[in-house]
Structure 1
Amino acid sequence: MLIFTNEDDPFSAITGAVKTDMIRTTIQRAKDAQDLGLSIELLPLSRPDEEFNVSLFYADLIGLDGAEITEYLPSAGEKLEDMTDQLRKRMMKKRRVKTLSFAITNDVCIEVNTYALTRPTTPGTITWLDSVSNIPLKTERSFICNDTGALLQDPQMRFQMYNDTVVKFSVRELSEVKRVSSHHLRLIGFKPLDCLKDYHNLRPSTFIYPSDEHIFGSTRVFVALHSSMLRLGRFALAFYGNPTRPQLVALVAQEEVTSSAGQVEPPGMHMIYLPYSDDIRYPEEVHVTSDEAPRATDEQIKKASSLLKRIDLKNFSVCQFANPALQRHYGILEALALGEDEMPDIKDETLPDEEGLARPGVVKAIDEFKASVYGENYDQEEAEAAAAKASRGDASKKRKAITDAASLKSAAYDWAELADNGKLKDMTVVELKSYLTAHDLPISGKKEALISRILTHLGK
């Protein structure tokens, strides 16, 4: 148990016998917990105007006496600094994704680093281990001849189908074909910011920042370009010669934002990946006249507005919600590492607030909105429709069972041979009906009508 406090006398507001009794009870409970194996550590936080006095209360709580009291405060300060080593947590490394050369003109080229600010977090890469020795395994890929089963070397040729023709490439030729641009990033021109639409963003942007590590003066050129783009309200259109998929990108300058706590947004540029003309889909337009289009009434809009106000999420932020799948993954790993028998219960913060939705005001708003849209008897009609659907499902299952049984019984006879030999008249009505049921034919009528129906189905 770690206690962080700047209050050296937690019972200072109480006096007399009550204070003495509270201190005695608290110290006794702490000793009982320590006897059960619980460790209690005090991490005092000193106030600016006075020093933390351990001897007032906490010395007896954690069992300090004599010289231990004077030596405790310096050691507690060291413990507070080492807390990052004691806490179990996963830290994301702040590192650049890659370094790019940014060609502004044929004669001016600067160096920039790229950073991924927002990316989905994954559980991590799986490492395969040997089941006996627990040693990490190395994965290798081999090519096997389909005819002889012999191991082959890596194929020296690649092929691509074009116009029903196999076009072959060597590894070197394929590398040359994919090398579209000599520079990683090449400036094309500038456009006003209002030309950049929301639907132009294909995936999360990449943040770029200048670097003087290999090309001296890159920061100075980048700052001049960055300031001009902010002042004129323009973005830079560039070509990103990615080996896997060359793309057009928009470089949008971001101004530095600071607060009393420090830097909130860093200065730099966001590299937004733009679509090609082939990437934009144009769905078919559905022309609906005003008479056919459903319209909400004023009463329905009023009830919907009341419902929205009732379940409004105040001060909402995505940072309040942890990924439940990741939390469960890390919880299981921690339990396995610590040798715990029970897996931890992970609280899924993405589930609806059942307690909040059960409040009388919210329930009333939901019922009124539902009644305004679907009518007063919607719940009863929905229940009746569900019951009818279940009934139809049961009837369908029953018919299928009857058909399966008839098919099984009908399969025991060679009906074509019986028809050719004129022996259908010797069959019973039940046997004749089994054939008709198996083939979804009517089973009404006398025996002669059943035989005629079977002969017609057999084409006799």
Structure 2
Amino acid sequence: MPPFDDWNIIDEEEDEELQDAAFFEGKRDVILFCIDCSESMHELRDDPNYDDVKTSHLFTALEAAMQIQKKKVIVGPNDSVGIVLFNTTRSSETKNHATEIKKNSFAYQPITIISAPAIQELIQLLDAAREDPDLLKSTFPPLTGKKMPMGDVFTSCNWVLRDGAPKTATKRVFLITDDDNPHPGSKQLVTSARTTLLDLTQSGVQIEPFFIATPEKPFEPSKFYSSVLLSNVLNDEDEDTGVLPESISITRIDDLLSQMRFHEVPKRALFSIPFQLADGFVISIKGYGLVTEQRKGIYKYFIDLGDHMEVANSRTVYVDEDQQAEVDKTEMVYGMALGTAPVEGASDDEGEGGDTVCRVVPTGKRPFYTADEIRSFRTLDLEPGIKLLGFKDPIELAFEDNVKHSVFIYPDESKYSGSKRTFAALLKKMIEKKKIGLVLALTRSNFAPVFCAMLPQAESTEEGGWNEPAGFHLIPLPFADDIRAAPLETAFRAPDELKDAARLWIDKLCVKDGTYPPDSHPNPALAYHNAQLQASAFREEFDPEAFEDLTRPKYDMIHKRAGNLMKEWKRALLTDESANVVPVTTGSKRKADVSVDEAEIRSKHEVGALAKLRVDQLKDFLKSKSQPVSGKKAELIERVSDWLDAH
């Protein structure tokens, strides 16, 4: 049978869900930076990166907003970003909003699609503020003697998002402040802030707080924010049993960016489908991809119209070769290439007498199917959903069964009321009884159904506030064709002394806390590509020498920690007999190396000894210089001589 891509794709434009990337690129992301402009945020401090330079927390927050926007120019050019400042006496001058925002708040950058001019304006402001540290304080005067109610802050964010953000976008507010108690002793303002925040979250907006702490002034969320920004729990939404994690100590731009990197990509669900536990017993769940490969952006074609460039929109058209006219897609049928025509006189009675209905195809012709039939072949006439088939012991889930990335599923209360409660009860019992689930899953309407193992995960909290949520990992189980048995061969085993010597230096080089943060080690090829695009977008000069490859090993630290232990292990390895045994294998014939260095050919040409070269060597040289390689040896020698004389 031909590959899947040859005949089993029905309609590229209508069935975009065949491409997983469409789910990540289809929904826009909106980030609103809500930055505190109080007197403490304007207080000048020593810059950690530059000597004799004073900066403030406000400068750090604006620089972080600028860096996020510069990155989104490459990874999310269709996303939108805005900046709102509160606790400032500067009044809002923008007229783009249908409703004015609250007093003592200022919309510095309304929510608009990422654009280079807006980012360059912010860059110019930061460059001027680095030269004149008091510029930000004069540009955004702080509110003195009192604080703006946080309820009004959340209301202003709601109005700005309502007027500027697309309705179908993922909307988030990055709240940056260093004040852990804006309303001391006022229960009314706390209640108002919590009520307005609830209105904000019910409209589909997520709050991502970033608290700035210093050694002189630690941030304690228990004073105010733990009673306003309550964490989500798996149980009913009315049960506020969780508390806000400890504050994130942010004193430098690198710290703020490293924390924002975890929150930068919105958590978009790959699918939202029903989960059938039994006949007539259904809840709703959402699936999230935990591992996604980040790739370069899609290239676009441009038309040069002389004074400007315009994007060329491409589309696929199917044309009838005989009539030279466009064919309606609804009239198209699909088929696959078969083998040779059947032998004459072969029996065609197979299938007679049974209940199977077969399509009669003339000899030498192909069987064709409609789009609905192809979709039926793929989905087996199943609707999207997950059906629970039973339970197994965890020991029956083998390591080699995990051949694809798993999907994390979580309950969705919006479709079926009580989904969270039922989901939590099932999760609790499966963890208690130490069982895994076996399900039949069809995650999208145009996907193929697959059997999956449902591995439960209990909620766990770690230091710093990061935790693993409670839910199930949906692990696609392989079919028999997906697994190949590895050849079992006898290997040489190292003695225990050699293993112990290796374990000493391995323990010295283990990752801290046993966790590997992938966001701290971006793909160097992709980062280099994005850095060039970013420099081109902002008309900056790109310096390849300034690019830093974060995946490059820190050799100095490695030798400092384990250099002596590695030398001892290497000496023990050289004296061990099992390490010096060379297994005898049957060799395979290799193609002769015909490449000859250009300097060698030129030296033979100078002494008139080109005839000593073989024909394949002459052809290889001419081919590398984009010269014709046809003809006899004398012609090849003459062609090589002419090229060398000309160059």
Range into which the TM-score falls when normalised by the shorter chain: 0.5 to 0.7
- CA 1:5–1:172: 2 relative to 1, 3 Å: same
Is the counterpart of residue 159 in structure 1 residue 360 in structure 2?
no
Matched with 1:135 is 310
Give the corresponding residue for 2:397: 196
Give me the whole-angstrom Cα distance separating, in 1, the residues matched to 2:142 and 2:318: 72
The superposition leaves residues 124-161 of structure 1 with CA deviations (integer Å, 9 ceiling, x where unpaired) of: 43343333343333221123455676554446110124
Pair 1:331 & 2:531 matched: yes
State the distance in 1 between where 2:298 and 2:429 align.
Answer: 43
Give, in whole Å, the separation in 2 of the partners of 1:139 and 1:265.
44
2:282 aligns with 109
**What amino acid is aligned across from residue 539 of structure 2 in structure 1?**
G
Distance in 1, matches of 2:299 and 2:316, equals 18
State the match for 1:93 in structure 2.
Answer: 266
CA change 1:139–1:225 in 2 (3 A) is same
- 2:474 corresponds in structure 1 to 271
1:350 aligns with 2:551: yes
The 5 A counterparts of 1:248-397 are 248-258=451-461, 262=465, 264-286=467-489, 288=490, 293-297=491-495, 300-309=498-507, 311-315=509-513, 317-319=515-517, 320-343=520-543, 345-359=546-560, 362-374=562-574
Residue equivalent to 1:170: 370
Could you say what secondary structure the match of 2:556 adopts?
Answer: helix
Q: Which amino acid aligns with 2:335?
A: F
Change (3 A) 1:341 1:265: same
What residue identity is the alignment partner of 2:612?
I
Deviations 1:181-207 (A, max 9, x none): 235211111111221122111222111
Change (3 A) 1:282 1:106: same
After TM superposition, give the deviation of residue 393 of structure 1 in Å: 8.1
The residue type equivalent to 1:248 in the other structure is: F
Q: Equivalent residue of 1:224, what SS?
A: helix
Taking structure 1 as reference, are residues 61 and 284 closer, same or farther at Cα in structure 2, changes over 3 Å only? closer
Q: Deviations over 1:8-57 (max 9, x none)?
A: 7989xxxxxxxxxxxxxx9xx66xx9xxxxxx556499xxxxxxxxxxxx
Unaligned runs of 5+ in 2: 1-36, 61-131, 154-173, 178-208, 211-252, 342-365, 577-591, 602-609, 619-630, 636-647
Distance change (3 Å), C-alpha of 1:273 and 1:341:
same
Q: After superposing the two structures, state which structure 1 stretch, 139-148 or 342-351, moved more.
A: 139-148
**Is the partner of 2:303 in helix, strand or coil?**
coil
2 CA distance for matches of 1:372 and 1:279?
A: 41
Encode CA deviations 1:66-114: one digit per residue, 9 max, x unaligned. 9x99857979999x96789999977211221111111222221221111
- Distance, in Å, in 1 between the alignment partners of 2:395 and 2:540 is 57
Cα RMSD for the two superposed structures? 4.8
Q: Determine the C-alpha separation between the residues in 2 that align with 1:147 and 1:406.
A: 47
Tell me if the contact between 1:331 and 1:343 (Cα under 8 Å) persists in the aligned partners: no
Residue 245 (str. 1) matches residue 421 (str. 2): no
Structure 1 residues 220 and 61, CA, compared in 2 at 3 Å: closer, same or farther? closer
1:268 to partner: Cα distance: 1.7
Q: Does 1:62 align with 2:265?
A: no
The answer as to whether partners of 2:383 and 2:442 remain within 8 angstroms in 1 is: yes
Work out the number of aligned pairs and report it: 351
CA spacing shift, 1:194–1:215, aligned 2, 3 Å: same
Greater helix fraction, Structure 1 or Structure 2:
1
2 CA distance for matches of 1:324 and 1:395?
33
Contact 2:594-2:617 at 8 Å conserved across structures: no
Aligned CA distance change for structure 1 residues 310 and 393 (closer, same or farther; 3 Å):
farther
Tell whether the 8 Å contact from 1:335 to 1:343 is kept in structure 2 after alignment. Answer: no
Report sequence identity in percent: 22
C-alpha distance in 1, partners of 2:437/2:616? 74
Alignment-derived partner of residue 125 in structure 1:
298
Q: How does 1:6-85 map to 2 (within 5 A)?
A: 41=56, 43=58, 62=134
The answer to whether the 8 A contact 1:251-1:271 is kept is yes
Displacement after TM superposition at 1:370 (Å) = 3.4
Cα contact 1:5–1:43 (8 A) shared by 2: no
User: Where in structure 1 are there 5+ consecutive unaligned residues?
Assistant: 12-25, 34-39, 46-59, 377-391, 414-460
Kept in 2: contact 1:310–1:365 (CA 8 A): no
Distance 2:413 2:617 in 1: 81
Worse-superposed segment, 156-165 or 344-353: 156-165
Distance 1:246 1:363 in 2: 52
* Residues 73 and 116 of structure 1, relative CA distance in 2, 3 Å threshold: farther
Q: Cα 1:265–1:372, aligned 2, differ >3 Å: closer, same or farther?
A: closer
Do the aligned residues in 1 keep the contact of 2:379 with 2:449 (CA within 8 Å)? no
2:386 aligned with 1:185: yes
Q: Residue 354 and residue 169 in structure 1: after superposition, are their counterparts in 2 closer, same or farther (change >3 A)?
A: same
* 2-structure distance, mates of 1:71, 1:110: 50
Q: Deviations over 1:216-264 (max 9, x none)?
A: 3333332222222122111111111353322101112222223576571
The structure-2 alpha-carbon separation of the partners of 1:152 and 1:357, relative to structure 1 and needing over 3 Å to count, comes to same
SS at the partner of 1:136? strand
1:221 matched to 2:221? The reply is: no
The code of the aligned residue for 1:333 comes to L
Q: Computing the radius of gyration over CA atoms, which structure comes out larger, 1 or 2?
A: 1
Residue 328 of structure 1 aligns to a residue whose secondary structure is helix
